[in-house]
Amino acid sequence: MQRTTTDVLVVGSGIAGCAAALAAARDGAEVTLATKATEPEDASSWWAQGGIAVSREHPDAFREDIITASDDEADPGAVETLVGNANEAVEDVLLETLGIEFDTTDESAKAAGADERGFAYAQEAAHDEPRILHVNASTGRYILPPLLEHLQGLDNVTIEQDTAALELVTHEGLVHGAILERDGEFAPCFAGATVLATGGIGALYPRTTNPEGATGDGIAMAALAGADVEDMEYVQFHPTAYAGDESGDTFLLSEAVRGEGALLRNAEGERFMPDYHEDAELAPRDVVARAVQEQIDETGEVTLDVSPLDFADEFPDLAHKCEEYGVDWSDGIPVAPAEHFLCGGVAVDDRGRASLDRLFAVGECSRTGVHGANRLASTSLLEGLVWGLRAGETAAGAGDPEVVEAPDLLDSDPPLADNFARDKFVRLRRVMGEFVGLSRNTDDLNRAQAVLRRLKGEVDAYTRTRTSRGLYELRSATVVALLVSRAASENPESKGCHYLEPPATAAEAGAETADGD
């Protein structure tokens, strides 16, 4: 690779990164969008099922739902930014620019094109009213490809696919770009502003709804460069992922299915959610996820009963997915919690600015304050869109790129065995799944940190003389795993998706270290 310069470097090609690139390009900046993805489905946004929430005519109700779902931990100012910009951002980018054809109640209303377009707004968990625009139950895959295609048509946007960011370039407190890698070669890309949009951390857990590349790269790079990170203990688990088998292979069953009337039943056929929360199946995600896991532990299985609705007709994409996995939904779909979303990340303000000058973060790798301790359903695409647009616009005016001394990444030793990173990831996921999962306790968190510190020490020793994408992804994963476990151990209060087991339960667990040490 050759050294390059650009006005704005965006790392990541989900809706947040694409929105940032779009806004910066609209302001006349030269934009380079670097992404590990080679296909749209490699980005987390493509996997988003439920849809994108808007405030409609009731912004106050939307604000209240976000704060309630967050276990009252959401930042009111951030919530105001999200809700206040929701309708305009969706109208501008998704409807006017891209022409996304969201589901409607009838074709004549859609064809009319009036303000009342007949959108079939869905209702999901912890929403007090239907406010979610969607396309079937696969909204992300209908939004991301046309957004990428639109960017590819802009003269001042360059998209570098199959390109990873390894490390930020910093000098005297400023971020000046990043070291990029493609096909085993690496070089700095100097930028006036750098926007991290690298998605989540699903690759750190045995079962996740995220793509394989969700290794927390942006959070790790920012933290190693000295940027502030916050709320890392708030890792959200989705309650209804296909239970699958021990391989961890799964797919998400959108909350929209429960919003349309599907019920959760234990192995004895009993509906149990009314015993846990007054909103039953539509309670906040953290409540439903813990209830599902408890019923699995007590009865052996939980299924999603879709008999109250015409599943194949209302959710054809999910019905096809069930067929692909050999699931007969007429008998109920076996479900279990799976890692889904990180509510914390790189701490940013209402324009996506991080604590390091000229560094921005948007989407799941950022901590805007909107989600608090638990994310409200179908707000992730909206947050990525709103903060992406605001960060991109601000980044476009950050200043000209400056060539400075870049980190000297060494690649002097022979490459590691192909299975090196894979085997270390197995160990890391086992630790995170057992000790830093849906429920935590002090002893397990201490065990996790001890194992993870040793693992990070091993990885750091190899990165001193070797540079490869797989090795740096492993480094990112170990850094972020430590950040999550440390934040969890330092927060003594159960809030939202950070749930601490009562001391008696923790003492009875008596778990051993995950790697046998």
Residue carrying structure tokens 């370039």: 169
Q: How far apart are CA 127 and CA 46, in angstroms?
A: 23
pLDDT at site 116: 58
4-233+343-395: CATH class? alpha beta
Across 243-255, average pLDDT = 81
pTM of the model: 0.93
Tokens of 219: 């959070």
Average pLDDT score, the chain: 92
CB of 410 within 8 A of CB of 467? Answer: yes
**Lowest model confidence (mean pLDDT) among 88-97, 105-114, 421-430:** 105-114
Angle at 250 between CA 247 and CA 254, to 5 degrees: 165
Structure-token pair, residue 475: 């480094």
Q: Which residue has the higher pLDDT, 37 or 302?
A: 302
Whether the per-residue pLDDT at 265 is higher than 80: the answer is: yes
Measure the CA–CA gap between 458 and 503, rounded to whole angstroms: 33
Kindly state the tokens that stand for 357: 């000058």
Q: Which two tokens stand for residue 87?
A: 């309708």
Confidence of residue 358 (pLDDT cuts 50, 70, 90): very high
Q: Domain 239-339 is in which class?
A: alpha beta
Q: Which of 25, 85, 35 is nearest to 55 (CA)?
A: 85
pLDDT, position 511:
47
* Residue 55 · residue 81 · CB < 8 Å: no
- The 10 Å CB-count burial string (b at 16+, else e) for 425-454 is bebbbbbbbbbbbbbbbebbbebbbebbee
- Evaluate if residue 498 carries a pLDDT over 80: yes
Is 285 labeled as catalytic in the residue annotation?
Answer: yes
**DSSP character string of 152-163:** HT-TTEEEE-S-
> What CATH fold (topology level) applies to the domain 420-509?
Methane Monooxygenase Hydroxylase; Chain G, domain 1 (1.20.58)
CA 391 to chain centre: 18
> What pLDDT is recorded for position 516?
47
Domain-by-domain residue ranges, the chain?
4-233+343-395, 239-339, 420-509
Catalytic-labelled residue, pool 285, 390, 429, 440: 285
Give me the amino acid identity at 517: D
pLDDT for position 512: 46
